Amino acid sequence: MTSNTPYIVEGRLFVPYFNYYGALASEFYRQLRDHKKIMGIKCPTCSKVYIPPRSTCAKCFGNLNEWVDVSSKGTVTTYTIIHYTYSPSNQPMDVPYACGIIQLDRADTGLCHLLGEMSPDKISVGMRVEAVFKDQRQGNILDIKYFRPV
Ligand SMILES: [Zn+2]
């Protein structure tokens, strides 16, 4: 005898893994973790500065290998407010919180990150912000806790 009722088993899987960032991202996260420096990579041909770093210029296809120390301060170019809790253990902040694209000074591309120490209804495009680094850094993008108003 069969049933069309689905048989559902709830559980958790433990999945150990490691992720190799690659040469460029490894250096980016190492600088972030060890020196609280946000590093970009500059195109020797057109001078465009990318953050996070990449190996090829999207504008002129040049090979990128010149590291530059970009500022930890920048400008919010766009943002969104998160109101929905979809996975409390995986969300970095309690709702509502904001996430934005920050154009760091001396960089030509934006960095997507959290916006903190501000009420979501006070955020605006063009707002000046600065990185707040965690005391205990682990070599990932959340070594920057969030960006706060300058
Ligand atoms: Zn270029």
d(CA 116, CA 99): 9
Please tell me the pTM assigned to this model.
Answer: 0.85
Peptide bond into 52 cis (omega under 30): yes
Distances 141 to 4, 51, 138, 145 between C-alpha atoms, Å: 46, 12, 9, 8
In the reported structure, the alpha carbon of residue 44 is separated from the centroid of ligand 1 by a whole-number distance in angstroms of 7
* DSSP conformation class of 135: S
- The confidence score (pLDDT) of residue 1 equals 62
Percent of the chain with pLDDT over 90: 73
pLDDT in tens, 24-77: 999 999 999 999 999 999 999 999 999 999 999 999 999 999 999 999 999 999
- The confidence score (pLDDT) of residue 93 equals 86
In the reported structure, the alpha carbon of residue 102 is separated from the centroid of ligand 1 by a whole-number distance in angstroms of 21
Residue 150, token pair as written in the block: 């300058």
Predicted confidence band of residue 2 (pLDDT cuts 50, 70, 90): confident
- The confidence score (pLDDT) of residue 61 equals 95
Which distant-in-sequence residues (6+ apart) come within 8 Å of 14 by Cβ? none
Neighbours of ion ligand 1 (CB under 5 A): 43, 45-46, 57, 59-60, 62
- The confidence score (pLDDT) of residue 85 equals 86
In the reported structure, the alpha carbon of residue 105 is separated from the centroid of ligand 1 by a whole-number distance in angstroms of 18
In the reported structure, the alpha carbon of residue 57 is separated from the centroid of ligand 1 by a whole-number distance in angstroms of 5
In the reported structure, the alpha carbon of residue 135 is separated from the centroid of ligand 1 by a whole-number distance in angstroms of 35
